[in-house]
Amino acid sequence: MPRPWSAEFFRLGIILIGAWLIGAVLGKPGVFLFLGLLAYMLWHLHNLRRLEQWLRDGRTYQPPEASGIWSEVFYLLYGKRQRERAQKKRLAAMLSQFREATSAMPDATVVLGPGDEIQWFNDAARQLIKLHAGQDVGQRIDNLIRYPEFGNFLESGNESGYILIPAPKDPETTLSARVIPYGRDLRLLILRDVSQQQRLEQMRRDFVANVSHELRTPLTVVNGFLETMIDTDDECAREWSRSLLLMQQQASRMQHIVEDLLLLSRLETDSNRPPEKPVSMPALIATIYEDVEHLAAQKRQQISIDSESEAGLYGAERELHSAFANLVINAIRYTPEAGRIRIRWWADEQGAHYAVADTGIGIEAAHIPRLTERFYRVDVGRSRDSGGTGLGLAIVKHVLNRHEARLRIDSVPGRGSTFTCDFPLSRVSRT
* Per-residue pLDDT at 106 exceeds 70: yes
> Which of 205, 217, 154 is CA-nearest to residue 180?
154
- Distance, CA of 76 to chain centre: 49
Sheet of 186-193: strand order equals 118-121, 108-112, 186-193, 170-182, 163-167
Arithmetic mean of pLDDT, 397-414: 90
Arithmetic mean of pLDDT, 393-415: 90
Sheet of 416-424: strand order equals 302-307, 340-348, 351-358, 416-424, 406-412
- Angle among Cα 400, 406, 410 to the nearest 5 degrees reads 120
What is this structure's pTM? 0.57
Beta-carbon contacts of 124 under 8 Å, excluding residues fewer than 6 positions away, are 105, 106, 107, 108, 109
Range from 21-30, 35-44, 99-108, 332-341 carrying the lowest mean pLDDT: 99-108
**Between these two residues, 202 and 408, which has the higher pLDDT value?**
408
* Per-residue pLDDT at 200 exceeds 70: yes
Q: How confident is the model at residue 46 (pLDDT cuts 50, 70, 90)?
A: confident
Helices then strands (H, E): number in the chain? Answer: 14, 13
Q: pLDDT, tens digit, for every residue of 59-84? A: 656 777 777 778 778 788 888 888 88
Q: pLDDT, tens digit, for every residue of 261-293? A: 777 777 777 767 777 789 999 999 999 999 888
* Per-residue pLDDT at 314 exceeds 80: yes
Residues in the chain: 431
Strand partners, 315: 277
> Which of 71, 16, 65 is CA-nearest to residue 40?
16
* Per-residue pLDDT at 380 exceeds 60: no
* Per-residue pLDDT at 378 exceeds 90: no
Q: What is the pLDDT of residue 257?
A: 77
Q: What is the pLDDT of residue 283?
A: 92
Q: What is the pLDDT of residue 191?
A: 87
Nearest-Å Rg of the Cα atoms of the chain is 39
Amino acid in the structure at residue 391: L
In whole angstroms, give the CA distance from residue 124 to residue 137: 15
> Which of 228, 268, 276, 311 is CA-nearest to residue 399?
268
Q: What is the pLDDT of residue 387?
A: 53
Q: What is the pLDDT of residue 341?
A: 93
Range from 98-107, 177-186, 383-392, 406-415 carrying the lowest mean pLDDT: 383-392
* Per-residue pLDDT at 1 exceeds 70: no
Beta-carbon contacts of 193 under 8 Å, excluding residues fewer than 6 positions away, are 128, 167, 173, 174, 175
H or E stretch covering 193: strand 186-193
Q: What is the pLDDT of residue 132?
A: 83
Q: What is the pLDDT of residue 95?
A: 74
* Per-residue pLDDT at 89 exceeds 60: yes
Please give the sequence-ordered ranges of beta strands (E in DSSP) within 280-400, or none if there are none. 302-307, 312-315, 340-348, 351-358
Q: What is the pLDDT of residue 60?
A: 58
Q: What is the pLDDT of residue 409?
A: 92
Q: How confident is the model at residue 56 (pLDDT cuts 50, 70, 90)?
A: confident
Contact 358, 339 (CB under 8 A): yes
Arithmetic mean of pLDDT, 16-21: 82
Q: What is the pLDDT of residue 389?
A: 64
Q: How confident is the model at residue 159 (pLDDT cuts 50, 70, 90)?
A: low
CB atoms within 10 A of CB 213: 13
In whole angstroms, give the CA distance from residue 315 to residue 360: 30
* Per-residue pLDDT at 25 exceeds 90: no
Range from 87-91, 171-175, 176-180, 236-240 carrying the lowest mean pLDDT: 236-240
3 state SS of 140: strand
* Per-residue pLDDT at 139 exceeds 60: yes
